[in-house]
Amino acid sequence: MAELKRFIVRRLVTFIPTLIGVTLLVFIIANLIPADPARAWAGGEKASPEVIERIREEYHLNDPWYVQYVFLMKKLFTNDIVSPRTHNKIWDDLIFGTSQGVAGAGTKYGRFFITLQLTLFAFLYIVFIGIPLGVLSALKKDSPLDSAVRSLALVGVSTPVFWLGYLLIYIFFVRFRVIELAGFPEPTQRITGIMVIDALLLGENDIAIQIINRLALPAFVLGFIGIGVIARITRNAFLETWNADYIEFGKARGLRKSRLMRHALKNALVPIVTVLGLQFGGLLGGAPITETVFGIPGMGRYMIEAIRNFDYPALIGGVLLFALIYMLANLIVDITYALIDPRVRY
């Protein structure tokens, strides 16, 4: 346990240079774009020179790039910088919510919690569809089911997210009208930050059903690639453990198949958990396309709008939050290793 604690401390220390590197890279790329952000923020070509100069002074755009970067990061960490596009503090837009509402998402939930909710729904699809399919594929090796699962994995990684999204919108919205694409329902009170959980806790079951109906199809599109990948990884890992000597010994002793499957799946979990951790970060990174296609006012769409409007303070704030979550997800995966397999040491 002491070794695990030291490992966690070492990993947390590495977060600092990683976050600096990621945000600095995005900042430099944003500064290389041949555009005048102050003029864009002031309203374009017809903007008043006085307003443009005032914006330059407020955001230190006349200073060297490294002074601008330090100013931006300091203001981000103190939540004291305003997005020139939404005129709200960036962390209010992303996490805390604003009194003016978050682009139709309501007044109590930031963009991050909308994306997190979408990601969690997609993650549930991956876990509860991908893993069982992988186990069944391994148990039915070289059968038509096995071939279908392997084909699903290939189709999943080959299908563009936007194409699948528009195809399913045509089927389930245009043709059959069984989903909703307008608005985003929210409960009357914020408790946990996850809208569907808050609605259930408040007894607002109709709101919870509306939220699930709104996110079910986008979450499936977002998680479709992961379902095939996890199914394939689970199949290969389960096959390896299912053919191990201790499983054969258990079969010889006459142990029930269900008990043997539990042992095999537990020992196959290490590579599965690794991929699941990476998938969670990948789901967050893939959310901008899904949110744009389905009109979900989440964090990914917020960052796309920031790129379109040269709002690099908001963009860097979003990248900072994405990077932190991705690193935390990988840290949780590493800790989970030790809980799943006692042989793992740090």
Residue among 231, 313, 218 nearest 272 (CA)? 231
Alpha-carbon span 260 to 262, nearest angstrom: 5
Look up the pTM and report it: 0.86
Maximum distance among all alpha carbons in the chain?
A: 85
As a whole number, mean pLDDT of residues 17-29 equals: 90
CB atoms within 10 A of CB 152: 20
SS3 label, residue 171: helix
Evaluate whether residue 242 is within a structural domain: yes
**Total tally of structural domains belonging to the chain:** 1
Alpha-carbon span 264 to 201, nearest angstrom: 37
Percentage of the chain lying above the pLDDT 90 cut: 30
* CATH number of the domain encompassing residue 206: 1.10.3720.10
Lowest-pLDDT choice from 129-133, 255-259, 292-296: 255-259
Evaluate whether residue 175 is within a structural domain: yes
Residue 83 structure tokens: 């997005």
Alpha-carbon span 293 to 291, nearest angstrom: 6
Helices 144-158, 131-139: inter-axial angle, 10-degree rounding: 140
Alpha-carbon span 80 to 101, nearest angstrom: 19
Higher pLDDT, 148 or 281: 148
Evaluate whether residue 118 is within a structural domain: yes
Evaluate whether residue 125 is within a structural domain: yes
Check: CB of residue 315 under 8 Å from CB of residue 93.
no
Asked whether the predicted pLDDT for residue 210 surpasses 70, the reply is: yes
Alpha-carbon span 270 to 72, nearest angstrom: 40
Tell me the Ramachandran region of residue 114: left when phi exceeds 0, alpha when psi lies from -120 to 50, beta otherwise.
alpha
> What are the pLDDT digits (tens) for 214-235?
999 999 999 998 998 999 999 9
Q: How confident is the model at residue 346 (pLDDT cuts 50, 70, 90)?
A: low
Alpha-carbon span 132 to 208, nearest angstrom: 27
Evaluate whether residue 85 is within a structural domain: no
- Token pair 């939540």: residue: 79
Q: Give the H or E element holding residue 46.
A: none
Q: Residue 293, CB half-sphere, CA atoms under 13 Å: how many?
A: 23
Q: What is the rounded radius of gyration, in angstroms, for the C-alpha atoms of the chain?
A: 24
Evaluate whether residue 288 is within a structural domain: yes
> What are the pLDDT digits (tens) for 75-111?
998 988 888 888 888 998 888 876 554 444 445 788 8
Evaluate whether residue 145 is within a structural domain: yes
Residue type, 159: T
Residues facing 89 on adjacent strands: 82
| Mean of per-residue pLDDT scores for the chain | 86
Please give the pLDDT value at position 211.
92
> What are the pLDDT digits (tens) for 316-331?
999 999 888 888 888 8
- Token pair 């043997």: residue: 260
Domain membership of residue 301 as a residue range: 111-340
Asked whether the predicted pLDDT for residue 45 surpasses 70, the reply is: yes
Residue among 159, 142, 135 nearest 269 (CA)? 135
Residue type, 295: G
Residue type, 80: D
Alpha-carbon span 181 to 183, nearest angstrom: 7
Evaluate whether residue 182 is within a structural domain: yes
As a whole number, mean pLDDT of residues 108-119 equals: 88
Q: Residue 113, CB half-sphere, CA atoms under 13 Å: how many?
A: 24
- Token pair 């939930």: residue: 109
Please give the pLDDT value at position 102.
43
Asked whether the predicted pLDDT for residue 131 surpasses 60, the reply is: yes
Check: CB of residue 155 under 8 Å from CB of residue 165.
no
Asked whether the predicted pLDDT for residue 135 surpasses 70, the reply is: yes
Alpha-carbon span 178 to 260, nearest angstrom: 42
